[in-house]
Amino acid sequence: MDAAPARGRADTSLDEVELVDDADVMIGTMGKLLAHELGLRHRAVSVLIHDRQNRLLIHRRAANKYHSGGLWTNTCCSHPRPGEPVLRAATRRLKEEMGIDVALSPLFVMQYRARVSRRLIESEVVHAFSGCFEGTPEPESSEVSDWRWISLPDLCADIDRRPERYTIWFRYFRSRHWPAICQVAAASAVRAPDPQECPV
């Protein structure tokens, strides 16, 4: 489904991110774009929203995003402001990007490093959160070009079959943390999925 018209949110390319060491201890701040140009490790947040039908809400990044534009990914991906607790950042950005305001729970923490364009490198400590939502999102069109609910088995199969359609970090979620994602979705589902529906 298409995203709603832009709500006039300011460009975030100059926002500062928290630089961290390999133990996720903050060691400084830097402009978001420069941190990606230099490939410096920084803190990030990601949200995975599911419903009671064991489906995950995914979105397609707007084509003009500073990297990974046009690719499908999890419900919300962003960065905390300097000094902002990660849960507060995840809750805030979920509301700003997708128009969703629900309680979130910690899901996992993951580090990764990957080149996402000719000049940008993602080097992140990602704090992932999950939440349950029944309704229709109201995404910000400057962030989101499309969205859909998809069953976990169908999503798993599509990531494995066509990985180039998805962001690199979402593919890492699939390869490293899929059992945890399936487990938390199943806990809220009306019908518990067959174990074969969530292959590792």
The catalytic site residues sit at: 77, 124
Which residue's structure tokens are 């998805």? 166
Q: How many CA atoms lie within 13 A of 34 on its CB side?
A: 9
Spatial separation of the C-alpha atoms in residues 115 and 123, rounded to whole Å = 9
3-state SS, residue 182: helix
Q: Are 170 and 72 in contact (CB under 8 A)?
A: yes
| φ/ψ (deg, to 5) at 175 | -80, -25
Chain centroid to CA 42 = 15
Which residue's structure tokens are 């000094």? 83
